[in-house]
Amino acid sequence: MKKRDFIRLLSLGAAGITAGSPLLKSCDSSRREPLAPYWVWMSARDTADVNWQGRFSQLADLGVRGILIQSSEEGYRELGPLAKSAGLEIHAWIIALNHRNKETLEAHPEWYTVSREGKSTALHPPYVEYYSWLCPTRKEVREFVSDRVTRLTLIEELDGIHLDYIRHSDVILPVGLWSKYNLVQDKEYPEFDFCYCDVCRTTFGEMEGIDPQDLEEPFANQAWLQFRYDSVTKLVNELAVITSQHNKKLTAAVFPTPEIARKLVRQEWTKWNLDAIFPMIYHNFYEEDISWIETATREGVQALNGKFPLYSGLYIPALSHGNIAEAVEFALAGGAAGITFFREGIMNRRFWSKIT
């Protein structure tokens, strides 16, 4: 797999996912009960040649309760009734803060996060060329994302909004990716450390009396770390107010455990006001055995302490027909309310037959 594909999958990025499904070609007539309530990440970028009604019905029969799906607003209006008639919940899966968008880059280059080296992700995206990130400390950025979510909440057929890339750029990549990028990220390095934009520096300066650019050990400054966790939390919780006002659910795809999420991407997701969470418990990215799925799940469940349910996200390319059932069992043993699979389009009949 190419480097950029790998990191894209890590973050559940949109581009590159096709709408094709092996399911319809291979209907399984001898089903048992699913091991757990299932969810799937899937894309509907190309809706032309797909029998969505049939595909949704098959997924429901396999024990899928809900779909996290990428589409256009028009697509959601078309797919929503089909998913619901099959008995599925349907949530709009959106890429929130990673926003390599020509219009926005030209109109608002100042909205983008800036590294400790002073380089903006608008002009100098780290790791891969699409890694341009909006800074959630900026009111205009929060309004921009809120407007998008508000428009989606007006689509009657949707049950909820699913946030992805709701974080800062990786200050440290998962250890399993270091060799791909020829990096050793044993600590926070300036070129990967964000956000030192004007608004963040000023806002933090007013709160703490120091410009974060002047911190000798920014990676050890708890207030500065917390400021960036809070910048994302504030946005999420503003979005939660909007979705609840419109009777929609709000969920998110996040890094695998509370500790890893804070450390790598400044997500403090235990403080988010969500209806459910879908951590990407992708053991191979962390060079872990599949038994880690249980311990990682348990860390999240215990930290949430019943605040909302956690559905363990499993990475299908790193699993086999031989161990997928075991991976599901590990997640359930860790306290997961269910399982989410990345991604539906590559789940063939043999995979499903092992877990239903």
Query: Using CA atoms, how far apart are residues 168 and 266, in angstroms rounded to an integer?
Result: 6
Closest CA to 41 of 10, 72, 68, 18: 68
200 near Zn ion, rule: CB under 5 A:
yes
Is 90 or 197 the residue whose CB approaches Zn ion more closely?
A: 197
- Within 126-145, which residues bind Zn ion (CB under 5 A)? 135, 137
Work out the burial of residue 208: count CB atoms within 10 Å of its CB; fewer than 13 is exposed, 13-18 middle, 19 or more buried: middle
Residues 6+ apart with CB under 8 A from 130: 4, 8, 13, 15, 98, 100
Residue 126 or 338: the one with the smaller Cβ distance to Zn ion is 126
Complex with Zn ion: residue 122 or 327, whichever CB lies closer: 122
Please say whether the beta carbons of 123 and 192 come within 8 A: no
Residue 164 in tokens: 């992805």
Residue 7 touches Zn ion, criterion: CB under 5 A: no
Q: How far is CA 294 from CA 104, 143, 218, 237, 284, in A?
A: 41, 38, 33, 28, 14
120 interacts with Zn ion by CB under 5 A: no
Q: How far is CA 175 from CA 52, 185, 186, 187, 191, in A?
A: 38, 8, 9, 12, 18
Closest approach of Zn ion to the CB of residue 143, in Å? 15
- Judged by beta carbon, residue 137 or residue 169, the one nearer Zn ion is 137
Choice between 70 and 169, CB closer to Zn ion: 169
C-beta closer to Zn ion: residue 135 or 172: 135
Residues in 245-274 at the binding interface with Zn ion, rule: CB under 5 A: none
At closest approach, how far in Å is the CB of 118 from Zn ion?
Answer: 12
Stretch that binds Zn ion, among 102-110, 200-208, 316-324, 336-344 (CB under 5 A): 200-208
Residues that bind Zn ion (rule: CB under 5 A) add up to a total of 5
Inter-residue contact 321 to 28 (CB < 8 Å): no
> 29: helix, coil or strand?
coil
The residue range among 194-202, 238-246, 266-274, 333-341 that interacts with Zn ion, by the rule CB under 5 A, is 194-202
Query: From the list 44, 195, 265, 314, which residue makes contact with Zn ion (rule: CB under 5 A)?
Result: 195
Q: How far is the CB of 212 from Zn ion (least distance, A)?
A: 10
Closest contact distance (angstroms) between CB of 316 and Zn ion is 35
Residue whose tokens read 């270091």? 178
Q: Which residues of the chain form contacts with Zn ion (CB under 5 A)?
A: 135, 137, 195, 197, 200
